Amino acid sequence: MEKVIETSHAIAEAVRLAKPDVIPIYPVTPQTHIAERLADFVADGLLKAEMITVESEHSAISAAIGASAAGSRVFTATASQGLALMHEVLFIASGLRLPVVMAIANRALSAPINIWCDHSDSIAERDSGWIQLYCESAQEAYDSVLFAYRIAENRDVLLPTMVCVDGFSLSHVYERVLLDNDEKVRKYVGKYRPLFKLDARKPVTMGPIGYPNSFMEFKEQQEQAMKMAINVMRVEERNFKKHFKRDFYGLIETYNLANARYAIIAMGSVCGTIKHVLKQSRLKDIGLIKLRSFRPLPKEALKKAFEGLKAIAVIDRAVSFGNGGVLWNEIKALSCLPVHSFIAGLGGRDITPRHIMKAFDVMQKEKENEKRIWLK
């Protein structure tokens, strides 16, 4: 069934279909519509889940860990300062290898106080051990929630996963979304069968102290699981397409890249603007590389996409103060090509076609340098 729906509600629909057992959640702008719609589903009997209305985001992720450790499928959502408040507990979720799925409505971190979009919140958690998927559209957000459960709960992975959507500029936008019936999603997502769980009848210990002679081995296993997630995602891309009869965009998506000599790299809803500019300008020598999976970073897929290019421009919606764009730093480490850095869209500022054309112009005319260009 195709329906015009708000992206936040599309995420909630996907969650309803995935049938989590427990939803601990604290509403925070611009994630609130996800929480409200899920509360409606539970109240109306459309979703049989224990919805825990907690007193803070720290409590939400703590409750998610407890529920997941007890063997429940879990969902939660947050944004900005809420995600920052979860910070210390995010590492526990990944260290315990708990497949919690969490939607992030990306929003700037204060100060100054700002409720609009950039990627500073989720990017700040890049090393917490969570898989991070970034979405361009409402359909992609809906699909990514279903995809996330398949990846997170895979026994070769068992890592918590964030599904990131740009706050307001995507979370509150209405678009056409193809919604699936309960039976089709049930067959795809399957039933969660935890490898280990807290059970009074079969006692186990989770998260004991890690002494210096063992702690590194735990971290090594997390790193191996993150690397394995790339292979699992590739398999699940094919499974998704076969099951739902529609494309899933994978680790990266390329646009107009076949004959391009230059490419622009970005994440999230700005990729739609870039596609529009490329289509309207009919530029054949510039293409787009949309990065969907920031963690794990699909290095080999990116390197393959770089083949034949003369230069790359990276648009970041987050800054590593003192060292420029976060994504730019990662791409620069992968490529010997000139990689130009552009900071844009912080605090919800529009990224317009004029900004995209400026990035195109600089990339083609200037040699790479350490200067960060702020698109304002």
CA distance 83 to 12: 19
Alpha-carbon torsion, ordered 71, 75, 79, 80, to 10 deg: 10
CA distance 243 to 241: 6
CA distance 144 to 134: 9
Asked if 309 and 263 touch (Cβ cutoff 8 Å), the reply is: yes
How many helices (H) does the chain have, and how many strands (E)? 13, 15
- The helix (H) or strand (E) run that includes residue 23 is strand 22-25
The token duo for 205 is 């210990």
Asked if 325 and 370 touch (Cβ cutoff 8 Å), the reply is: no
Which domains are delineated in the chain?
A: 2-244 (3.40.50.970), 252-375 (3.40.50.920)
pTM comes to: 0.97
Give me the tens of pLDDT residue by residue for the chain, a chain 376 residues long: 899 999 999 999 999 999 999 999 999 999 999 999 999 999 999 999 999 999 999 999 999 999 999 999 999 999 999 999 999 999 999 999 999 999 999 999 999 999 999 999 999 999 999 999 999 999 999 999 999 999 999 999 999 999 999 999 999 999 999 999 999 999 999 999 999 999 989 999 998 999 999 999 999 999 999 999 999 999 999 999 999 999 887 899 999 999 999 999 999 999 999 999 999 998 889 999 999 999 999 999 999 999 999 999 999 999 999 998 999 999 999 999 999 999 999 999 999 999 999 999 999 887 766 678 999 9
Look-up: residue for tokens 């230059």?
262
What three-state secondary structure class fits 9?
helix
Asked if 284 and 257 touch (Cβ cutoff 8 Å), the reply is: no
Strand partners, 254: 289
Asked if 321 and 294 touch (Cβ cutoff 8 Å), the reply is: no
- Nearby residues of 321 by Cβ (< 8 Å), 6 or more positions away: none
